[in-house]
Structure 1
Amino acid sequence: MGNLTALKVKNARPGDKLSDGDGLRLDVDKSGNASRVFRFTSPMTGKERFMGLGPSGDVTLAKAREDAALARALIRDGKDPIEQRNAERAEAKAQASRATTFKAYAEQYISGKEAGWKNDKHRQQWRNSLRDYAYSNIGHLPVADVNTDGVLKALRPIWQTKKETARRVRGRIEAILNAAKAEGLRTGENPALWRGHLDQVLARRRKSDVTHHPALPYEEMPTFWKSLASDTSDAARMLRWIILTASRFNEAYDMDAATELKGDLWTIPAARMKADREHKVPLTTAASAQLPFRPVSDVTLSNCIARHTKTPATTHGMRSTFRDWCGDCSHFPRDIAEMCLAHSVADETEAAYRRSTALAKRRELMEAWSQYCASMS
């Protein structure tokens, strides 16, 4: 010990490994970054190991010698200093997890994620559903201590009466606990996991429990369109745009015409798509004729639908109307129809190829749909 001097350290060159003695040395990488390193033989495995003590700019030589001395003391006691340090860090994280409640971590998780979520309603649903159904049961618990019993106490009161809400709450709890585990605040299996865990004690959701958006039968579309075509309101223009592009409400509501519309193509950025993939929509002449329109709420669109048909139907259901017409009345392949709806149709490689080559076919399909809608006008 004591071989290194300030001058030797100053004159160190890339690739140098300068020994101070008793396993402590200064290593300089190819970029000239110097680090303090303690080289030793593990008393647990008999293998050579290298323990980083920190950059030389942050750790003085005196501090490095002190740390090396402590490491040698551990070795004399039969302990591996690297494993000992890892154990101490794990314990520190465990202490932190015991000091962090599920509610506090959940709020932190939401704040970190919500910038990437697509709309304010989605953000509010996360906070409200956890506030109303989870926090009273597990919000006060350390995030490390949330267990299956606590999750069940949150879910059981709403599992049969608020089925969709309960499903979402379970998924949100699972996501939060997964994140806590990734940050080292939890260990073990996720108590909110469905498959192979909660599905053993909670009733499975039946297909009959799934509520579909009421859709206008495609046979009624020409009559509906003839009435809708005479409506000059923004709601009618926006609704006609949604129908002719087979788009979702949020995609149309949040559309930035200045950046997304180029000629006869609407390019919706990945950040606003449900599947997080950019989607290109070929625009027919009839679709472009609806521009511009002032975005209105989904409720306003529902009222617009009700003005022009007595058949129960929703804005989102218009996508089903389009899909049913494609399957029953058009000659276009299934994958072309699915791509018009921005649905996944294949593995990622094939899907990327199909998106780049099927635009012309999708344009033909949307033109045929446009003509069908206006066939009684």
Structure 2
Amino acid sequence: MSGIKPLGKHAEKRLSAARIRAISDPGFYGDGHGLYLKVDPSGAKRWIHRIVIQGKRRDIGLGPASLVTLSEAREMALENRKSARAGNDPIAAKRLSKAILSFKETAQQVHDLNKPTWRNEKHGQQWLNTMETYVFPFFGSKQVSSVDSADVMAALTPIWNSHPETARRVKQRIGTVLKYAMAKGWRNDNPADAIT
């Protein structure tokens, strides 16, 4: 059978790893629930998930078959279906997750936004220096959406007893960055609030 959408009952899990390796004719090969292996004329194989999102049919690329296994593609398709069924848009969520900055980049934005309010230039530089010294080495490169209370604790623990006032200020500055991330829609909570 060539790579066309089969008619009749939609069977699920029609593909297997062996079949995927054997397919060479260009076309779409369905696995079920909108998951397709697309074979290009060049022979390249990639996963496509066809799904209805908020009333519109959309195709979501899940990656090349050489990097994404059949079971991983099925898992991603299931997550997309659950998300769409809940009224969400998995494509928009994917775009948003790519747009989310690292904690360090977000802190830099917060610093730049607050520049006009610093008492003086030294105060503003001190704000950034404490982040460079005590925070960025621990989770500066992490997406701001994935920073958790364990990350905040890891940064504060080394200075909590030796420099309590610095620790209090650093915690407050971390909280300010996380509140900004909440305002941007990048996260729903502020894990710095959980630390007393």
Which TM-score band (shorter chain)? 0.5 to 0.7
Looking at secondary structure, tell me which structure has more strand per residue.
2
Contact 1:96 1:185 in 2 (8 A): no
1:154 aligns with 2:151: no
The one-letter code matched in structure 2 to 1:184 is G
Distance (whole Å) between structure 2 residues aligned to residue 119 and residue 176 of structure 1: 20
* Cα deviation code 1:229-254 (max 9, x no counterpart): xxxxxxxxxxxxxxxxxxxxxxxxxx
Note closer, same or farther for the CA distance 1:84–1:136 as it changes in structure 2 (3 Å cut).
Answer: closer
Relative contact order, CA 8 A, sep 6+: which one is greater?
2
Counterpart position of 2:99:
96
Normalization by structure 1: what TM-score? 0.29
Counterpart position of 2:77:
none
Contact 1:102 1:141 in 2 (8 A): yes
Counterpart position of 1:190:
190
Deviation at 1:174, TM superposition (A): 0.4
SS in structure 2 at match of 1:192: helix
Distance (whole Å) between structure 2 residues aligned to residue 109 and residue 120 of structure 1: 15
Aligned 1:10-159 pairs, distance under 5 A? 73=56, 83-85=87-89, 87-97=90-100, 100-159=101-160
Deviation at 1:101, TM superposition (A): 1.3
Note closer, same or farther for the CA distance 1:184–1:158 as it changes in structure 2 (3 Å cut).
Answer: same
Contact 1:178 1:190 in 2 (8 A): yes
Distance (whole Å) between structure 1 residues aligned to residue 130 and residue 56 of structure 2: 53
Distance (whole Å) between structure 1 residues aligned to residue 187 and residue 94 of structure 2: 11
Note closer, same or farther for the CA distance 1:92–1:128 as it changes in structure 2 (3 Å cut).
Answer: same
Deviation at 1:112, TM superposition (A): 1.4
Give unpaired runs (5+ residues) of structure 2: 1-52, 58-80
* Cα deviation code 1:288-338 (max 9, x no counterpart): xxxxxxxxxxxxxxxxxxxxxxxxxxxxxxxxxxxxxxxxxxxxxxxxxxx
Counterpart position of 2:182:
181
**Following superposition, which runs of at least 4 residues in structure 1 exceed 3 angstroms of deviation?**
70-74
Counterpart position of 1:63:
none
Backbone CA RMSD of aligned residues? 2.6
SS in structure 2 at match of 1:140: coil
* Cα deviation code 1:190-229 (max 9, x no counterpart): 1111xxx212xxxxxxxxxxxxxxxxxxxxxxxxxxxxxx
Normalization by structure 2: what TM-score? 0.54
Aligned 1:1-377 pairs, distance under 5 A? 73=56, 83-85=87-89, 87-97=90-100, 100-187=101-188, 189-193=189-193, 197-199=194-196
Deviation at 1:71, TM superposition (A): 6.4
Distance (whole Å) between structure 2 residues aligned to residue 173 and residue 155 of structure 1: 10
Distance (whole Å) between structure 1 residues aligned to residue 128 and residue 56 of structure 2: 51
Distance (whole Å) between structure 1 residues aligned to residue 110 and residue 96 of structure 2: 17
Deviation at 1:185, TM superposition (A): 1.6
SS in structure 1 at match of 2:192: coil
* Cα deviation code 1:75-132 (max 9, x no counterpart): xx9x989x455x54333212322xx211111112111111122211220111111011
Note closer, same or farther for the CA distance 1:159–1:80 as it changes in structure 2 (3 Å cut).
Answer: closer
